[in-house]
Structure 1
Amino acid sequence: MSEVNSSGSPVHVIPMGLEFDRVLGGLKRFPTNRIILLYGNDTDSNIERKARKNGKRIREVVSATIDVEEMEMDIFDFFQAARTLNGLFRQLQSQGHSIYVNLSTGNRIVSSAALLACYMTRAHPYYVRPESYHIPENREVISTGVLSVIEMPMVRIIGPTRKGQIVLAVLSDLGGEARYESSLIPPLERRGGFFPERKLSESKKAYLARKRAHLSRVLRSLEKDGYIQMIRKGRFVSVVLTESGKLFSISGDIGPDA
């Protein structure tokens, strides 16, 4: 992920394609002094070259009053795009920014991923409705004008509990997999805030058994909700992050206390 500047002002995140009027329409409706243009990482594709050419036009029009930044990402992998945008939005929010995301300017995959990331982080999604569409012969669909800018409703996704999210973060640190359940205990202890306190009269053996039972309950809940897979190999059970689990492995205020 590219480095982003910090200044505390509203930031527009705009997946780039062939849209021009719809980019400017969003900036007019929600004024800002900073935008981040998102491009695909397949720089050899014809559509990507056109998107970058279009981005250059945007920069030429707005750069006198708006700071324009650029960022590359995989715009055809839904889960990877959602993880990247989730991380970007949280980074911007940690710097005090509010975030506005144009859902009408990129392809369907990255737009869907951006909407999910908005719901995970409480960023502000919006859609720019064009005045008209037309399809030149043997060319892509082109829209012109701006009929309206629709601010999408804010929806909060309730993800895993805080303790579940701690497990997901630890699994992410381990590369997405723990070879067996008990191997999660040391990193969870180092992270803190996961296991209950040891009772004064409790033996080490009894406390370890209670920690294992506590971890097992959290893992079963995460597996039921589709955030991890428990893969049994003989006497041992390995724990693997799913794609959904990877989305929530980025730390943030998502789940309720539990």
Structure 2
Amino acid sequence: MDTAVPRVSERRVHVVPLGHEHDRIVEPLRGHGADVVYLLADAPDREAERGAVDFEAAAAGLGDGRVDVDRLTDYQRDAWAEAAEFAAVRALPVALADVYDVLGVTTTVAARHDAGEPDGDRLFANVSTGPRIAAVGVAIACMVVGARPYSVEPEVHRHDVAETPLTAGVAGTVDLPIYPMDAPTTDQVAVLGRLRERADRNVTTDKWNLIQWARERDLSFLREAGESRTAKYRALETHVLSPLRDRGYVELEDVGRSDTVHLTETGRRVFFAFQHKLGER
């Protein structure tokens, strides 16, 4: 794990899935001086949209927030309470089996703390303490926002997680490699959101509709496009639709003299994962 001395104003923020663990949750937080901890508690039936975070409710104490503490084991509640002795703990309900929910929540937390920005907080994420899908979501989020993922090796393995944690003790902490990953731009996320809104209303969307809508909202890709209709179409294609289509987030259908733009299911999920970017506008 990155052990460089933080700036005076910088906080060490950790995102940790609250899985069937105790020591692998608490000890790295204690050992590396966590200031703020976001515990991702499994909520498979949560009604909020993917990636949504209620920060006010998250700040409530054990049993006072949105997390159903009755679903937690005694050792999970103990891990929460112990972490709260030395760090500000924020508990977030997350569908840990949904990679896009985990990804979206983690990137939203990163945005909240300006992680990766010169004056932002330093973000770390534990990929060892939840199910594998949660680990993938957390790891991808770290690649997107430039956070530091870490893995914690147990000293002892146990098996009956209904009675005891899966593991005990900490033998060491291993840094995971960081690979650059291009997140969709704010304009691209905005367009995905527009397509989602229209699709939910069973309304089709063509390129000109997107251009008019983008112009009303002063999206950046149109600012230098000029006044000609052709230039606006070219800007939409170059800066928004082509990248989204290449990644499988949208599809185009020829209808008469225009192209209808369809949001794919992957594109819908990606919107939920990165919708926090719209708050940066």
Shorter-chain TM-score tier: 0.7 to 0.9
TM-score by length of structure 1 reads 0.77
- Quote the Cα distance in structure 2 between the aligned partners of 1:36 and 1:11: 8
Partner of 2:229: 208
Q: Which has the higher mean CA deviation after the structures are superposed, 69-78 or 83-92? A: 83-92
Tell me the SS of whatever aligns to 1:226: coil
Structure 2 residue aligned with 1:191, among 202, 218, 221?
A: 218
Q: Residues 40 and 212 (structure 1 numbering): CA distance in 2 closer, same or farther, change over 3 Å?
A: same
Measure how far apart 1:76 and its partner are. Answer: 1.5
Partner of 1:86: 107
Partner of 1:37: 39
Structure 1 residue aligned with 2:248, among 219, 226, 229?
A: 226
Which amino acid letter does the alignment assign opposite residue 116 of structure 1?
I
Partner of 2:21: 19
Structure 2 residue aligned with 1:179, among 205, 212, 225?
A: 205
Q: Deviations over 1:205-247 (max 9, x none)?
A: xx11221233234423421232322234455433233425424
Measure how far apart 1:32 and its partner are. Answer: 1.5
Measure how far apart 1:136 and its partner are. Answer: 4.4
Q: How many equivalent pairs are there? A: 235
Structure 1 residue aligned with 2:134, among 71, 87, 110?
A: 110
Measure how far apart 1:145 and its partner are. Answer: 1.1
Q: Residues 84 and 251 (structure 1 numbering): CA distance in 2 closer, same or farther, change over 3 Å?
A: same
Q: Residues 234 and 74 (structure 1 numbering): CA distance in 2 closer, same or farther, change over 3 Å?
A: farther
Which amino acid letter does the alignment assign opposite residue 133 of structure 1?
H
Tell me the SS of whatever aligns to 1:191: coil
- Quote the Cα distance in structure 1 between the aligned partners of 2:256 and 2:164: 55
Measure how far apart 1:115 and its partner are. Answer: 0.5
- Quote the Cα distance in structure 2 between the aligned partners of 1:138 and 1:55: 11
Measure how far apart 1:186 and its partner are. Answer: 2.2
Partner of 2:277: 251
8 Å contact 1:103–1:115 — kept in the other structure? yes
- Quote the Cα distance in structure 2 between the aligned partners of 1:248 and 1:240: 18
- Quote the Cα distance in structure 2 between the aligned partners of 1:137 and 1:116: 27
- Quote the Cα distance in structure 1 between the aligned partners of 2:223 and 2:71: 56
Partner of 2:174: 150
Partner of 2:146: 122
8 Å contact 2:188–2:244 — kept in the other structure? no
- Quote the Cα distance in structure 2 between the aligned partners of 1:194 and 1:188: 9
8 Å contact 2:155–2:167 — kept in the other structure? yes
8 Å contact 2:20–2:161 — kept in the other structure? no
CA RMSD, Structure 1 to Structure 2 (Å):
3.1
Partner of 2:57: none
Measure how far apart 1:114 and its partner are. Answer: 0.6
Measure how far apart 1:191 and its partner are. Answer: 2.5
Q: Deviations over 1:13-37 (max 9, x none)?
A: 1101110010122113321122111
Which amino acid letter does the alignment assign opposite residue 147 of structure 1?
A
Which amino acid letter does the alignment assign opposite residue 208 of structure 2?
S
- Where does structure 2 lack aligned partners over 5 or more consecutive residues? 1-8, 47-68
Which amino acid letter does the alignment assign opposite residue 93 of structure 1?
D
Structure 2 residue aligned with 1:10, among 9, 12, 15?
A: 12
Partner of 1:241: 263
- Where does structure 1 lack aligned partners over 5 or more consecutive residues? 1-6, 253-258
Q: Which has the higher mean CA deviation after the structures are superposed, 10-19 or 238-247? A: 238-247
- Quote the Cα distance in structure 2 between the aligned partners of 1:20 and 1:101: 16
Which amino acid letter does the alignment assign opposite residue 250 of structure 2?
I
Q: Deviations over 1:77-99 (max 9, x none)?
A: 22232122222222222682211
Which amino acid letter does the alignment assign opposite residue 182 of structure 1?
W
Partner of 2:74: 53
Q: Residues 158 and 230 (structure 1 numbering): CA distance in 2 closer, same or farther, change over 3 Å?
A: same
Which amino acid letter does the alignment assign opposite residue 222 of structure 2?
F
